C-alpha cells in the first residue's frame, strides 16, 4: 500500500502562484508515474498533468504554459508549480501514483479569487 499526501493548496488571487507537493511513501518511488488531477464543485475529476518515471511530462491544454510538473526522486515528492492562476483553476487537486495499481491522495483545496 502506498500513501499519497498532497499539500500546498490555499487561497490566492488571480494571477498568483502556488506550488503543490505530493509525497508518496514507497521504496520504489522512482518506478512510479504520477499525475495531478482536479475536481471543481459539480464537475467531474479531470486530468491536469502527468510525469512518467523517466521524467516525461504532459499537460492538459487548459494549463499548458502555466503549470509545471516535476519530481524529486530523492525526496520522494512530485510538485505542481501553478503560475498565472485563474478563478477557473479553483478545485480540489489530487495526486495519483501509478505503477501496477493507482493510489490517490486526499486532495488539497486551491481557491483562486478574482
pLDDT at 68: 98
pLDDT at 109: 98
Q: How far is CA 103 from the centre of its chain?
A: 13
Please report, in tens digits, the pLDDT of each residue of the chain (114 residues total).
899 999 999 999 999 999 999 999 999 999 999 999 999 999 999 999 999 999 999 999 999 999 999 999 999 999 999 999 999 999 999 999 999 999 999 999 999 999
pLDDT at 1: 86
Kindly report the number of other CB atoms within 10 A of residue 90's CB atom: 18
Q: 9 near 91, Cβ under 8 Å?
A: no
Q: Mapping DSSP to helix (H, G, I), strand (E, B) and coil, where does residue 14 land?
A: coil
pLDDT at 41: 92
Q: Would you call 78 exposed, middle or buried from its count of C-beta atoms within 10 A (0-12, 13-18, 19+)?
A: buried
Amino acid at each position: 500500500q502506498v500513501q499519497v499526501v498532497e499539500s500546498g493548496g490555499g487561497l490566492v488571487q488571480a494571477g498568483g502562484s502556488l506550488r503543490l507537493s505530493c509525497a508518496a511513501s514507497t521504496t520504489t518511488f522512482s518506478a512510479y508515474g504520477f499525475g495531478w488531477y482536479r475536481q471543481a464543485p459539480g464537475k467531474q475529476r479531470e486530468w491536469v498533468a502527468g510525469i512518467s518515471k523517466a521524467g516525461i511530462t504532459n499537460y492538459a491544454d487548459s494549463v499548458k504554459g502555466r503549470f509545471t510538473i516535476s519530481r524529486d526522486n530523492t525526496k520522494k515528492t512530485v510538485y505542481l508549480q501553478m503560475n498565472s492562476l485563474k478563478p477557473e483553476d479553483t478545485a480540489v487537486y489530487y495526486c495519483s501514483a501509478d505503477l501496477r495499481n493507482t493510489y490517490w491522495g486526499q486532495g488539497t483545496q486551491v481557491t483562486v479569487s478574482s
